[in-house]
Structure 1
């Protein structure tokens, strides 16, 4: 099935989470971590080890886990909460949405029913495909599959219009392949040839399950791979697509429909419920090729391809032969991931197809009014501290400060769930067919996604679900997004002193808000227009500061790895944001509690440290050292505090101690 949002404009929708990836804790590796907190660590020598000593002792790394972390445990808690909610919705639903979710959950857990269902959920889709008689029938089938969340031939989704950040347009982009990289279809090395042989076998298995006779399997699999190869040859390399400008090609919708007549794009847009006047087609050569293929390839080849795409997309939600075939190729061979439990697989399916429904109920169940109020109060105070910091920042000119303050004044804070709710009217699901429910829910979500297209809808919903722990700055909409799931320990622990809440949650807020005014935020101004509002001298001053931060982090040994240091350049931007977060949260805390005792002040810094407690296996540490844009937990904790006079005063650290560098060597973003 398609994800609800196949595109990602990294330039203008940078949801840069300040927390570790939840996926890391789920990976399975061989070797456990050997490192432990030094027995002699204290606040002034290694605050990370000192503050997290109890956690580090209590949470050892098993021999089968890649990592364990405080934030990973938060992600697991959020998943457990989702399961509890679904169980309750299954047994005693409260309202129509819970009834839908409860039925969806029950149908997925009933494995016997799933097996009895076989391929019946996709029978209507296969029937429509098998009824294709000529080339004019093909585009209608393509449009119908997109409607149910199965993108074939190409991808189509809502995303920001780079010329007008207040609106979304529909993006026609490359897709339609069964392999994740177009290069697989054209490379000739031995490894790729071997992979393509295994892929061919997988295609044959799915075609057999969707009705292809045994004596035609090889021929139809060749037809599928031939068509996909033709699409891949006209697709751009994945590396090129990392630049969002290469994904953006605005054109009048009516003009596109005339240019690619065989694809029947006008009818396609109408079927998706889209009536906007503009779309994006960033690769016209690809769509010219697709338009030609609709008219030049025989319908039988198209039918084989479409049946394959339906079977492959729906395989995880159908009977065991489908699931086993899909997991053997995609799960074991391509990803190397363990097979999920049945509960986990069903939960993942619900989040994919009905995630906003689950998010609505999750927020109502797990986010209390007092917690929401506290989160908004602290975030508002940190935003105020940022305004004061901008005023005194000597790196920036009066015009830059004026633009920054105007942007800050318009910055919205959204807590818990999106402000604009969705339309939850949907076909009743029932408990008889998990696969059918998947299609019902996916059709609903696609419908709601299409409503994002057009003027006035850019803030319609978030690009993260409320039940997923996340705290992010949405650069396109100039808003701070705080999900319901993130507002629990260790991020916001309402059972702890408020100082710890500022140190943990408040610092993450400051981290994210800083992204609106850093070397990325400078690209969008207060009017939500793409414009660099820094001067060259201001950009140079920022780079000079960033180089100091990179040099500092580059001097740190990577925990658990011999002879490896932190890649300062790689972690620089988020290290600056960590520094901003601590500075801004500390300022907000001191403004709120100017008479706080030394013990209370210590709680602030302990709150910060509690976020980053972790154990990594050597393999996980090696991978993160090479790829992660965040520093490891020890240095996310310690490095921002080394230049904080407040830290040294709170813990009585002498100048020159490991955790209190000399005044002339301190690195401060907002002196």
Structure 2
């Protein structure tokens, strides 16, 4: 995956970013892209979700109810108001034992993972729906007879058609990357690396480190250049060192993949070259920071001058590199992993020039492989799709073409998506829900018994400054300077990368653009940015089962309300809480309150570290801490907001479920998800989100309100002793 896919030319790339889920890339909240996910890995949203709906319903288990639900007839109107797909419930499972299975069990048993997916669930279902909508928009442009040169329809149509023209792609062979390969071949000495790295990064190709421009976390009113480790073709440093047989097999397959690409490109001794390239990557992996350390916003904030950077990496001119990238106006450089750069300098010095050139040649081939002839495309899929993710078949070409168009012209097609698929009424209702959640969070802060008045005042000040973006940008991005030429797939993508890079570096010296979005409207996700202190909800997530305008408030508060609460909570998780309301990284806690906060989060780390979805592998409670806080606190705040919305009245019972029960059903169903083992293995090593079953059960066991709603008692599998339950916000 190119640096653009990590940075997405967005200001939020430099901030502590909390997301509802990830889309196949770096972990969140991780301020900077690490460019460690390989170029060809499918950039589809991670599947972590669930809905439910049928006629006969089961009466839920309440405090005094029998263990076995009683089936009763439910009207169509009741089903509509319930907003829960009852056919997905597994009534053989008690909600007091495994709520995730109770809500989603039938779906989990009867739903296959599509052959072209590594995972499947509500997020993927909605992403597929969004993808079909985008296909209609894009193919309409592609089929249009009159497309004025330079217009959005012309660019969208020609880019899509260039991806779909497999006959031309096959005939071209390696010609589309000839200039990039020649550029690497022309490298005469290591002294030329600054300009070569800069050119490759502008073109969207991976190098041993990545430079991007984003907000300065300690001076959030300015943009600054930032540098992060990169250079690995496997998803994470651990893939190079773990001794379990599956990782041994993956490394062997990776060597075969490198050799295959080099052979196709005409390398005489491809086997030896592949071994040398892997050895170089293994050295980079050894010095790469792990993902837990990369979450530490203080540890990854190292402000350097160009002179200090030169001293850190003797023989590499940072002034020349920054000039070649167009970032010479930067007021300094924030280095996320200084000792990695130092080790990289030593590794490059010790590596023969021919090996460095072979490594960079491989990065060109691997980065472009999915867009080249079938032999390259198939080699890329065989490793990154089949071996790493367990896919049975590649995604249909039209889907990959849609992804390519969205990657290059995301907001251009996003504007058309909004016009056709987003209701102004949904935006208004979301604004009301956000307002209610903000008030609930405000009251929640005031009610904390472990926090001092001094720290509460700081927290309230931050909460009051939260900015909220819903649906789509108020200002759309201008793509008029991006050139798209019929039949030039690789060149079109390369021009898009250069266009995005120029857009990114042009921010230096300018005021922060607070209208900019970090996701397109058609993205099924949501996020919080600490440097912007904002929460963002794209249009595509505002549909059932997350947001259902026909459903009762209880279900919506448990679903989209908890999503809103999740993003609010990211501003107060273990990393987001390090920034103030203006987005600046600073400590606004008293020493005693900070100790109390860490005590509670340590218990949460311990809880999640005990979960094991795969044999021999467990959840990394430290890596997933921020998202686990987001889930737990977000759901707690959403429940408070729901109770406030009732204004003292008792919620009606619908289809046999009380209001509190529907609230938790709303939460449980959005996390329905299935994973292939290899995808789960990669998730556990690289993703800052917990597997879906723990996003439900791991949270609910800490919420007294859940115990009361479903009559959970000591001895039930979901029971956790009161003194072991965690409440943070």
Normalising by structure 1, we get a TM-score of 0.79
Deviates more, 1:68-77 or 1:452-461: 452-461
SS of 2:450's equivalent?
A: coil
Local SS of the residue matching 2:537: strand
Q: Hey, what does 1:150 align to over in structure 2? A: 205
Partners in 1 of 2:275 and 2:607 — Cα distance?
55
Query: Higher RCO, 1 or 2 (CA under 8 Å, sep at least 6)?
Result: 2
2:521 match: 466
Separation of aligned partners in 2, 1:572 and 1:314: 35
Indicate the larger mover: 53-62 or 99-108.
Answer: 53-62
Aligned counterpart in structure 1 of residue 377 of structure 2, from 323, 326, 342: 323
**TM alignment of 1:100-249, pairs within 5 A:** 100-181=155-236, 198-212=253-267, 214=268, 216-218=269-271, 220-221=273-274, 224-225=277-278, 228=281, 231=284, 235=288, 240-249=293-302
Separation (CA, whole Å) in 2 of partners of 1:415 and 1:253: 39
Determine if the alignment matches structure 1 residue 435 to structure 2 residue 490: yes
Mapped contact 1:317–1:434 kept (Cα < 8 A):
yes
Deviation sequence 1:304-341 (CA, Å, 0-9, x none):
33322211111011111111222233333344333322
Query: Which residue number in structure 2 is paired with residue 308 of structure 1?
Result: 362
Residue 18 (structure 2) aligns with: 15
Q: Per-residue deviation at 1:265?
A: 2.5
Asked whether the 8 Å contact 1:476–1:524 carries over to 2, the reply is yes
1:622 CA drift (Å):
9.3
Helix, strand or coil at the partner of 2:201 = helix
The aligned residue for residue 643 of structure 1 is: 705
Cα deviation for residue 398 of structure 1 reads: 2.0
Whether the 8 Å contact between 1:471 and 1:481 is mirrored in structure 2 is yes
- What CA distance in whole angstroms lies between the structure 2 residues aligned with 1:149 and 1:594? 54
2:94 is matched with: none
Q: In the alignment, is the contact (CA less than 8 A) between 1:385 and 1:584 conserved in 2?
A: yes
Question: Is residue 252 of structure 1 aligned with residue 305 of structure 2?
Answer: yes
SS at match of 1:414: strand
> Which of 422, 425, 438 is equivalent to 1:370?
425
Distance 1:611 1:203, change over 3 A: same
Picking from 346, 352, 356, the partner of 2:401 is 346
Q: Does 1:606 align with 2:662?
A: yes
Whether the aligned pair in 2 keeps the contact of 1:262 and 1:294 (CA below 8 Å) is no
1:577–1:616 CA distance, 2 compared to 1 (3 A): closer
Q: Is residue 2 of structure 1 aligned with residue 64 of structure 2?
A: no
Q: Contact (CA 8 Å) 2:450, 2:596: kept in 1 or not?
A: yes
C-alpha change, 1:244 and 1:524, in structure 2 (3 Å) is closer
The 3-state SS of whatever aligns with 1:280 is strand
State the Cα distance separating 1:394 from its structure 2 match.
Answer: 3.5
1:262-318: CA deviations, max 9, x gaps? 434223222322121211345556545666777887665544333222111110111
State the alpha-carbon separation in 1 of the partners of residues 727 and 648 from structure 2.
Answer: 25
- 1: distance between equivalents of 2:364 and 2:277? 12
In the aligned structure 2, how far is the partner of 1:332 from the partner of 1:609? 35
Tell me: CA distance 1:561–1:181, structure 2 relative to 1, closer, same or farther (3 Å): closer
Is 1:267 matched up with 2:323? no
Normalized per residue, the structure richer in helix is: 1
Equivalents in 1 of 2:383, 2:568: separation in Å?
A: 42
Gaps of 5+ in 1: 28-36
In structure 1, C-alpha distance between the alignment counterparts of 2:625 and 2:68, rounded to whole Å: 21
Question: Aligned equivalents of 1:401 and 1:209: distance in 2?
Answer: 62
Helix, strand or coil: the match of 2:668?
A: coil
Q: Does structure 1 residue 628 correspond to structure 2 residue 686?
A: no
Measure, in 1, the Cα distance between the counterparts of 2:586 and 2:352: 49
Matches within 5 A, 1:237-636: 240-253=293-306, 255-256=308-309, 262-274=315-327, 275-282=329-336, 287=341, 300-338=354-392, 339-418=394-473, 421-453=476-508, 456-457=511-512, 459=514, 461-498=516-553, 500-539=555-594, 541-542=596-597, 577-578=630-631, 580-589=633-642, 594=647, 598-599=651-652, 602=658, 606=662, 608-613=664-669, 628=690, 631-632=693-694, 635=697
For residues 209-229 of structure 1, give each alpha carbon's deviation from its aligned partner in whole angstroms, at most 9, with x where no partner exists: 3344x4x54565466456556
Matches of 1:169 and 1:660, distance apart in 2:
48
Kindly state the Cα deviation for residue 492 of structure 1 after the two structures are TM-superposed: 1.4
The answer to which of 655-664 and 184-193 deviates more is: 655-664
1:87 maps to 139
CA contact (8 A) 1:642 1:659 kept: no
Q: How many angstroms apart in 1 are the aligned matches of 2:274 and 2:722?
A: 68
CA contact (8 A) 2:228 2:336 kept: yes
Contact 2:628 2:690 in 1 (8 A): no
SS of corresponding position for 2:127: helix
Shift of 1:413: 0.8
The CA deviation at 1:147 is 0.9
| 1:23 to partner: Cα distance | 5.3
Aligned length: 653
8 A contact 1:166–1:455 mirrored in 2: no
| Distance in 1 (alpha carbons) for counterparts of 2:545 and 2:282 | 48
> Offset of 1:660 from its aligned partner?
13
Distance 1:517 1:298 in 2: 48
CA RMSD of aligned residues (A): 5.1
Distance 1:91 1:359, change over 3 A: same
- Partner of 2:18, secondary structure, is coil
Q: Partner residue of 2:89? A: 56
**What CA distance in whole angstroms lies between the structure 2 residues aligned with 1:270 and 1:536?**
43
What's the CA shift for 1:608?
4.7
Deviation at 1:107, TM superposition (A): 1.9
